[in-house]
Structure 1
Amino acid sequence: MILLPSAIPTLTIDTPVQNTTKLLYVKSKRLWVMSDLDNDIIQVDTKGNMKETVYSSGPFCVSKDDALLYKSDPFMEYEDEDEDEDDDKYGDRIKKKTSEISITLLKTKKSEDIIGHYSSFVNGHILVLIQISTVTESPWQRHLSHKITRYDENGLKIEDIWINDRIQGWRFSSFEYAYITENKNGDIIISSKKYKTVVGMDRSGEHRFRYSHPEDLTPMDICTDKYGHILVAFESSIHLLDEDGAFKKILLKNMSSNIVFTCLCLDDKQNIYVGNDRGIVNVYKYLKDE
């Protein structure tokens, strides 16, 4: 693995969304993109042509078998044939959409909100970041806690990994939506806009590292490459970290003060796709060909 001296631009994709907040590559040379201005996930080709639209109430990811996994609003799903009679017992759910069908893959309890999820390209496991809300009546108080639930590719639960928020520095407060990924060494990495930090933990949830921008800028999105590097998108730059969360280099600097980096992903050839608040996705090469 050889890093190029600087990222080389190779392609620009003008998407139909106004502000790209999340994007993921699909093996068919297409992208799923989402804007914070609506609840639609839009599939586009490399020319920016819209191919498909899916309604979602939250985060999404792409599975190992190239299916779209997206958070679905339970109140919009009562017409589905696969729903249970006891549907009111459940909260959020993740649906799996292939080219042919869309099915409910997994459900959370009524008190559990999905605020991020990720599908491993190694084993197909699905990591779901969940915020749990509990209320006491006397005195009335709302308590928040967080866990990561690991499911297999069929939506069967494997384990709960509880997050010690005090150790991570998050003080049991709301994450809002957060980005989650898994590295090749098994570390789980979460990027929190609220706390302006990227935190790494091992498979059991024990703290491994914390990374923040030296100028206290907000991390917008994260991903990992096949070599174990962690890529972090800040508003004005893309940082490359090693698997221990230590800074290695700035891969890309934003040369315009009027444009904000908002999200990033990698394709199967390790090219970086960087989205911004204008709905533009720029593609860069940062590794020398093997």
Structure 2
Amino acid sequence: MSTQHKGHEYLKLEELFNKSKERIGKDREELENISPTYEEIAIELENQIANLDGEYEKLTTEMTMQREELHREIDNAFNQMVLNTIDTGHEKLRSVACLIEEQIWTCGVTADIKCFNIQGVLQKTIQTKSRKNPSDIAVYKDGALLYSDWKTKKVYKVKDDQTEEIIRLQGWLPGNLCVTSSGELLVIMLSENETQAKVVRYSGSTVKQTIQFNNDQPLYSGNKKIKYITENRNLDICVTDWGAGAVVVVNQAGKLRFRYTGHPLAGRNERFKPSGITTDSQSHILTSDLYNHCIHILQSDGQFLRYIDNCDLKSPYGLCVDSNGRLFLCELFRGSVKKIKYII
């Protein structure tokens, strides 16, 4: 091949190379312009996928909650049932105490303490010594009635239509009552200046124990707000402290075991304000939640178990369980006592 021909071939190759290089450069510029657009589209698609995942998760969570609520309502329909309703005629019904169905004692905001049978027939009416409403009522195992009178600062025992003063206080006002399994009496007390509260155990008229502090801190709020009391089967002492929004549980020696401050309830968002309290044969603790219109059931260690909330309850207040394990509760403003069957 001649030198001249080789030169022509070289020029053609050089021209082809330059044209290819120029075309590649243009393609690169176009790709650089297009690439951010594709990246933006990819990012947007990833965001949409993430949003879809979030919406799906929310939807499945909501469906799960609705399914659980439905199961709970079905369970409640079978496990909770109102067996009897007694219209007591009390304007505001605060306490109920009974061991047998033929003696259901009730009191409210008047001086009248009324006794009904399970059919709702009034059996007897007793008036307090002060002609003021009693702080609370309780029943001894022999059927004798106890009531605390904040006006006279005394606790009375009524049996066979005879009234006997068994406790007289100075500087303190008697509040709610509980007869223990051993026949002793637990009394909630409030100082006259309404700054301190305590639990005092009596054997007859003799003070056996005072429960007021835990590590030098007050166990109970010092105010005149609701403080119902009961003894559990394991001998724990359980007190509702309305002012603190808590159930306070101490052991037999008066040492703090736990405080229960409520449990979330779907669709019911009022603050937990416990009023009445009782326990059953399995050592479950039952406490009434006035503003959320339900009963909380706890294990003896304070763990929440379930609610009683489908029995058309309205402002539940005082509670008691009779000797046969039946639950009786007061509806504060309706003035009715309901006997309820419940299964854990």
TM-score (norm: length of structure 1): 0.79
Task: Give 1:287 shift.
Answer: 4.1
Q: What is the aligned partner in structure 2 of residue 65 from structure 1?
A: 142
Maintained 8 Å contact 2:150/2:174: no
Identity of aligned residues (%): 24
- Partner Cα distance (1:14, 1:166) in 2: 45
2:272 partner letter: L
Unaligned regions of 5+ residues in structure 1, if any? 76-91, 134-141
Residue number among 120, 123, 131 corresponding to 2:190 in the alignment: 131
Q: What is the aligned partner in structure 2 of residue 95 from structure 1?
A: 156
Greater share of residues in strand: 1
Q: What is the aligned partner in structure 1 of residue 341 from structure 2?
A: 285
- Partner Cα distance (1:97, 1:143) in 2: 28
Task: Give 1:196 shift.
Answer: 1.9
- Partner Cα distance (1:144, 1:255) in 2: 37
- Partner Cα distance (2:205, 2:278) in 1: 22
Q: Give the number of aligned pairs.
A: 255
**1:5-58 alpha-carbon deviations (Å, 9 max, x no partner):** 52122222222223321111142522111123x232111122222222223432
Q: Secondary structure at the match of 2:318?
A: strand
Q: What is the aligned partner in structure 2 of residue 78 from structure 1?
A: none
- Partner Cα distance (2:259, 2:322) in 1: 26
Matches within 5 A, 1:170-181: 170=220, 173-181=222-230
Residue number among 234, 241, 244 corresponding to 1:192 in the alignment: 241
- Partner Cα distance (2:239, 2:215) in 1: 12
Greater share of residues in helix: 2
Q: What is the aligned partner in structure 2 of residue 211 from structure 1?
A: 260
Maintained 8 Å contact 1:183/1:228: yes
- Partner Cα distance (1:193, 1:165) in 2: 22
Q: What is the aligned partner in structure 1 of residue 177 from structure 2?
A: 117
**Structure 1 residues 168, 145: CA separation in 2 closer, same or farther (over 3 Å shift)?**
closer
**Structure 1 residues 162, 168: CA separation in 2 closer, same or farther (over 3 Å shift)?**
closer
Unaligned regions of 5+ residues in structure 2, if any? 1-74, 129-133, 264-268
**Structure 1 residues 128, 73: CA separation in 2 closer, same or farther (over 3 Å shift)?**
closer
**Structure 1 residues 143, 249: CA separation in 2 closer, same or farther (over 3 Å shift)?**
closer
Higher RCO (CA 8 Å, separation ≥ 6 residues): 1
**Structure 1 residues 93, 156: CA separation in 2 closer, same or farther (over 3 Å shift)?**
same
- Partner Cα distance (1:196, 1:254) in 2: 24
- Partner Cα distance (1:16, 1:174) in 2: 29
Q: What is the aligned partner in structure 2 of residue 253 from structure 1?
A: 310
CA root-mean-square deviation:
2.5
**Structure 1 residues 167, 228: CA separation in 2 closer, same or farther (over 3 Å shift)?**
farther
Q: Secondary structure at the match of 1:20?
A: coil
